Amino acid sequence: MLPDQVYSPAEDSHLLLRAALAEVRETDRVLEVGTGSGYVAAGMLGRAAMVTATDINPFAVGCARARGVAAVWTDLAAGLCGPFDLILFNPPYLPTAPEERMDDWMEYALDGGPTGRVVIERFAAEIGRVLAPFGRVLLLVSSLTGLDAVRELFARAGFISFVVDEERVEDETLYVIRAMRDLCRMGA
């Protein structure tokens, strides 16, 4: 039973876990950012060398710890130095107007700002600091958030990306993109 201030695993969580299980290697140091209930991170236990998870919501951090995941209460990867070989993120991605904001913990799990991409932009700008040189990022993206716009902002941050999995859910399509440093552009 999850506290009602924690996002319950849904189709997006299941899709990210499926993609992560297909991607992970035994030697990977894995980080899940914004883990929520810890469902995806817990699914990686025993499949990687190390699994760490973060959340800005203290109730979520408690849930992840209860699932046996090394959990850190911080914003994205702020209190971590890494390096990590595989970073997973199911971000808050719903386009949300200021008057729609709820001002509670669940909002951090859902609210992507007016474009739906506010937190994703911050993630793309910051995540290189904790990503190993050949590390991979798996990011859940919704058609509501704009697949092309998300891939473009990762490209501007120096990453190449492509879709590795997708699923249609009612009036939305969910994608998982895999991003890596664009090694051809490094030092350019």
Partner 1 sequence: MRKSLMEILCCPVCKGDLELIVVEESGEEVLEGTLRCAACRVDYPVSEGIPNLLPETACED
Residues that bind partner 1 (CB under 8 A): 29, 52, 56, 58, 61-62, 65, 70-75, 78-82, 84, 129
Residue 15 and residue 173 in contact, taking contact as beta carbons nearer than 8 Å: no
Q: 4: which DSSP letter?
A: T
Cis-peptide into 3, omega within 30 deg: no
Residue 56 and residue 74 in contact, taking contact as beta carbons nearer than 8 Å: yes
**Given the complex with partner 1, which of 19 and 42 has the nearer CB atom?**
42
* Pairwise CA distance, residues 74 & 81, whole Å: 12
Within 13 Å, how many C-alpha atoms sit on residue 103's CB side? Answer: 2
Nearest to 74 by CA among 116, 108, 107: 108
Residue 63 and residue 119 in contact, taking contact as beta carbons nearer than 8 Å: no
**Given the complex with partner 1, which of 11 and 107 has the nearer CB atom?**
107
**Given the complex with partner 1, which of 56 and 153 has the nearer CB atom?**
56
In the complex, minimum distance from the CB of residue 22 to partner 1, in angstroms, rounded to a whole number = 24
In the complex, minimum distance from the CB of residue 185 to partner 1, in angstroms, rounded to a whole number = 24
**Coil/strand/helix, residue 122:** helix
In the complex, minimum distance from the CB of residue 7 to partner 1, in angstroms, rounded to a whole number = 18
In the complex, minimum distance from the CB of residue 28 to partner 1, in angstroms, rounded to a whole number = 13
In the complex, minimum distance from the CB of residue 91 to partner 1, in angstroms, rounded to a whole number = 18
